[in-house]
């Protein structure tokens, strides 16, 4: 487990509803959700491109 995972696990639930900073209009939960969806989108792109190239191995779990 890396440092960021530990920090998330140790966070109080109320922290996720707080704004990131006084200047930000985004809560911690919104920011973490956005980053997660962004990463998932790009992982999907990578898998699709590798399948099109023929460089995706079925042993990696997706056919």
Whether residue 10 is predicted with pLDDT greater than 90 in this model: the reply is no
Q: For 56-60, what is the mean pLDDT?
A: 75
Residue 62, token pair as written in the block = 């997706």
Residue 7 — pLDDT band, cuts 50, 70, 90?
A: confident
pTM higher than 0.85: no
**Residue in the structure block whose two tokens are 């590798």:** 50
Q: What is the pLDDT of residue 62?
A: 62
Q: What is the pLDDT of residue 39?
A: 97
Digit-coded pLDDT (tens) for 32-53:
999 999 999 999 999 899 889 9
For 1-61, where are the alpha helices, taking DSSP H only?
3-10, 28-53
């Amino acid at each position: 487990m890396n440092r960021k995972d530990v920090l998330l696990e140790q966070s109080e639930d109320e922290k996720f509803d707080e704004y990131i900073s006084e200047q930000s209009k985004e809560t911690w939960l919104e920011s973490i959700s956005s980053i997660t969806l962004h990463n998932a989108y790009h992982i999907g792109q990578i898998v699709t491109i590798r399948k099109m190239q023929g460089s995706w191995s079925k042993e990696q779990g997706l056919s």
